[in-house]
Chain A
Amino acid sequence: KAGVTQTPRYLIKTRGQQVTLSCSPISGHRSVSWYQQTPGQGLQFLFEYFSETQRNKGNFPGRFSGRQFSNSRSEMNVSTLELGDSALYLCASSLEGWDQPQHFGDGTRLSIL
């Protein structure tokens, strides 16, 4: 069974630009969550989608948005990029059920110049 696939793996952008990151979950997983990982802040929850609906949201500004498609694939968009947005962005999928573990992709490393 294929794991969670995130594309691209690496991305370099400049301040003010926008970026879209993609996540393909494990087949059969309808829950997709996004996290931002930085050395200083650790893992921060961005949002969770289930069946195309945002089910939960973290404390990030409105520049961070996401969506989920009918095939459970998800995208995350960040507009008006800032230097502080440089991070590893991780996507995780899981089966339905709050006791289910999350399965993570290898992330997209975003660098803002």
Chain B
Amino acid sequence: AQSVAQPEDQVNVAEGNPLTVKCTYSVSGNPYLFWYVQYPNRGLQFLLKYITGDNLVKGSYGFEAEFNKSQTSFHLKKPSALVSDSALYFCAVRHLNTGGFKTIFGAGTRLFVKA
């Protein structure tokens, strides 16, 4: 079955430290990969995507993500965390199946950045 896993329900980091939010996936073919962020009482906001090319992609608010095909992973990273980065982060995979393209979201990882 096609799936997206975010193995950590919660990640805690101190402000100024680097952060990593993990994502692995299991889908057939070559999927498109996305990261979104959700703040309280808001919808999801697009951060970045990987379609093809360089394995390291840069996105909004200083975030970047590294695609690793052999490990089927797409981890979200930021060199220096801010308190305002505290939010819920979703990894998403868009893949082709019999009904057309579908998007699967991970369960989400809650990031807490402590001052």
Contact = CB atoms under 8 A, between A and B. Distances in A.
- Do these two chains really belong together in a complex? yes
Interface of A: 4, 6, 33, 35, 42-43, 45, 55-57, 90, 92, 98-99, 101-107
Contacts of A45: 102-105
A35 B49 CA distance: 20
Interface of B: 32, 34, 36, 41-46, 49, 51, 90, 94, 96, 99-108
30 contacts: A33-B103, A42-B105, A42-B106, A43-B90, A45-B102, A45-B103, A45-B104, A55-B100, A56-B99, A56-B100, A56-B102, A90-B44, A92-B44, A98-B96, A99-B49, A99-B51, A101-B34, A101-B46, A101-B49, A102-B44, A102-B46, A103-B46, A104-B43, A104-B44, A104-B45, A105-B43, A106-B41, A106-B42, A107-B42, A107-B43
Contacts of A4: 43
Interface of A is mostly: strand
B49 A102 contact: no
Nearest to B39: A106
Nearest to B106: A42
Nearest to B48: A101
A42 B107 contact: yes
